[in-house]
Amino acid sequence: MRTKTIAQMLMVSGFAACFWNSHGLAAGGVHCQDIGGGILTNFLDPTQCLSTSGSPVGLSTDGSATGDLRGAVGVQVLAVNGNVLHNRHHWVTDSGDTIFVKDAFLTLFPTSDPNRDLGDYLDGIDITGGTGRFDGATGHLSSVFGALDLKLGQVTLRYAGTVCFPTVKEP
């Protein structure tokens, strides 16, 4: 009797383990994870924004990202419409992978200090793929907000969201 009970327990445990480990199959072979971190960039001198940078308004930033997408981030401001900046991002991780990101819109909210604004990507930022680990990845940074010090030329942001990676196929 004891052997039969142990066998049943092992069978149930094995089924449960297979069930919980098959979530990638149920999700269409995709593994998603929550991500978060920070971004610190500086506005570049307009003479440093190359004509090939795609910033017709002469505004661009370079800086670092921390957290799950740590590495380097650059932003080209493509257009300014009132208090909204149309931005193109360039993101390279510490491991050398490139993250492709759709153009996004940063809304500025003035503060009582004329040199400082709060900024929020109200619609978030979409990840559309990349190289290396991010080849075929998709994602959405649903929360990207922070502050800009226009006098010092500094931007500080927090980001949070989800990125989904295709399941790696065995060689």
d(CA 104, CA 47): 24
Average pLDDT for 4-25: 46
Q: What SS3 state is found at 8?
A: helix
Task: Tell me the domain boundaries of the chain.
Answer: 28-166
Reported pTM: 0.78
pLDDT band of 25, cuts 50, 70, 90: very low
**CATH label, 28-166, candidates 1.10.3210, 2.40.350, 1.10.3470, 2.60.40:** 2.40.350
Q: Name the least confident of 33-37, 58-62, 97-101, 136-140.
A: 58-62
pLDDT band of 27, cuts 50, 70, 90: very low
DSSP track, 77-146: EEEEETTEEEEEEEEEETTS-EEEE--EEEEEEE-SSTTEEEEE-TT-EEEEEESGGGTT-EEEEEEEEE
